[in-house]
Amino acid sequence: MAVFEYSVVLTDGGGSIAGPNVNVGDSITLTATAPGQSGIASPVNPVNCVGADVTLGVTTPNAIASFSGSNYSVGYIHAGEDGTTFYTASIEGSVGGGDTTPNPFDLPDVPNAVPGQVTYSTAQTITGMDANTPCSVSGDGAPQLQVAGGANPWVTSSTINSGQLINVRLTASPLFSTPRQATLLIGTGSDTITVTTAAEPSGGTGGPISDGTGTYGIQIFDTNGTTSVLSPSTRYMTRLTDPEYVSVASNGGSVLIPCIMTGLTSSNSTLVFSTPASSNTSDTIVITLESNGFRITNNDTQGTFTNIAYAVRF
């Protein structure tokens, strides 16, 4: 909702100047002065404004609350000291007739969205209107809009003024490689946002590991004498190295975690980090099995990788 500031000069015989075009809910702060006069001026046209007496020269708001027609006129009148001369002035404009056509706007489409996730476009500043302008969004994925960012609510319709930010969000399709669209309407302008989910990635390696069964070898039982805690078919897990704090420089820095090697392969041993990475990923932190241990290489360009690491065999 817009707030307009205007001032008028009260004169003998009065006059009117053009005021802003307004919408319901806007308000005008009208200042009145009268050269050579002092005292209190009274509002004119209380039908169209919720006015208040104004001390000449002092700002007093006149909130425009409701209108019955398509035009408004708001002003002040002040009786001169002689009691017969009246000093008046007003501003006039149209109601609901402001320019609600924004300049062309384009909220970016979103590619590679995560399926099923609430996905946001990038907020844009809307300009070009001179009135509070209705806006709404509709389409797939329960789209919502937010005006002016921050903690303002996400809704399906609202109003926006020139210079304010607007953004749209919707829930991406739960399917890979599938678009969803929402149309944002601002006044007489519109834009369609397309959120397309990412393509299904290829699967990796890994999976079940074999253990084998045998009627020979060693078997160890729990305290009840019947539950086996180790047998020839148990893929037992052991730790090969004690936990070690590692600090690996970026841009290709590396650290070796040495191991006594006896038949280690990438399918029966690995390096474990104690804490999940928050800013590094498996794309940038690479673990390789070498002839004398596990090497951690940090291909990230952003900073040193730190964690606690140890090797296990299974």
Nearer to another protein, 58 or 155 (CB): 155
Taking phi first (over 0 means left), then psi (-120 to 50 degrees means alpha), and beta for anything else, what does residue 158 get? beta
| Binding residue count for another protein, defined by CB under 8 A | 86
Site string for another protein, 235-274 (x = CB under 8 A): xxxxxxxxx---------------xx-xx--xxx-xxxxx
Q: Is 201 in the site for another protein (CB under 8 A)?
A: yes
State in angstroms the smallest separation of the CB of 162 from another protein.
Answer: 18
Q: Is 69 in the site for another protein (CB under 8 A)?
A: no
Q: Is 122 in the site for another protein (CB under 8 A)?
A: yes
Burial class of residue 234, CB neighbours in 10 A (0-12, 13-18, 19+): middle
Following CA atoms 180, 186, 189, 194 in sequence, which dihedral angle do they give, to the nearest 10 degrees? -10
Q: How far, in Å, are 80, 216, 268, 314 from residue 209 at the CA level?
A: 101, 20, 9, 9
State in angstroms the smallest separation of the CB of 126 from another protein.
Answer: 13
Q: Is 210 in the site for another protein (CB under 8 A)?
A: yes
The stretch near another protein (CB under 8 A) out of 59-67, 91-99, 128-136, 169-177 is 169-177
End-to-end CA distance of the chain: 67
Q: How far is the C-alpha of 6 from the C-alpha of 93, rounded, in Å?
A: 12
Q: Is 275 in the site for another protein (CB under 8 A)?
A: yes
How is residue 192 annotated by DSSP? Answer: E
Q: Residues 176, 249, 256, 292: which binds another protein (CB under 8 A)? A: 176
State in angstroms the smallest separation of the CB of 195 from another protein.
Answer: 11
